[in-house]
Amino acid sequence: MVSAGTHVTIDAYVKDSVVFMEGTLKVLFTELVNALGMTILFGPHFIEVPIDPEVLKKAQETGIFHDEGGITGFCIINTSHVSIHTWPLQKFFSMDVFSCSDFNPEIAVKIIKKHLGVDKNRININVLQREKPLTIWGHLKENSLIYS
C-alpha cells in the first residue's frame, strides 16, 4: 500500500474543562503542527458558541444529543487540517488531525494529552493510514474515465 497520509481522531474527556479556552487551544494547535513538521497556512481560528446548561439538561433527559455550546476551532496546514470541537459542560472534546503526509500519531496524541489534561480512562483514539489511489488524475474520453 502506498500511503496517502495519516489521520488521527480523538474523542476524550478532560479532567478540567478550563483547558477549553482559546489561548490554550492556540498553543496546542501551534505546538502540534510544529512538532509534526508541518506549516500552518490559515488559522488557527476558534468560534465560541454560548453555553446553555438547559440544553445539556434536555439532552440528559431525552438521551438525544443537543449541542449545549462550546468552542470549535480549526487550522489549515500545508498538508490538510487540524480541528477540535469542545463541550465544556461535559468535559468532552473531539479532535481531528489529518495530513496527506505520514506523521507519527504517538507524537500527536502525546501533545494533545499534555495540553488538554485528558482523563486516561476515558479516551478513544483512531489512527488511519489512508491508502493512496494508484492514479490521481484521469480524463474523460468517449464517456469513459481513462486514467493516465
Amino acid at 60: Q
5, 79 contact by CB (below 8 A): yes
Cα–Cα dist 43/30, whole Å: 10
Indicate if 94 belongs to the active site: no
Of the listed 3, 45, 66, 80, which one is catalytic?
80
Amino acid at 49: V
Of the listed 85, 94, 101, 115, which one is catalytic?
85
Indicate if 75 belongs to the active site: no
Of the listed 81, 94, 100, 115, which one is catalytic?
100
Cα–Cα dist 122/5, whole Å: 27
Cell representation of residue 29: 494547535
Indicate if 100 belongs to the active site: yes
Query: Catalytic residues, which ones?
Result: 80, 85, 100
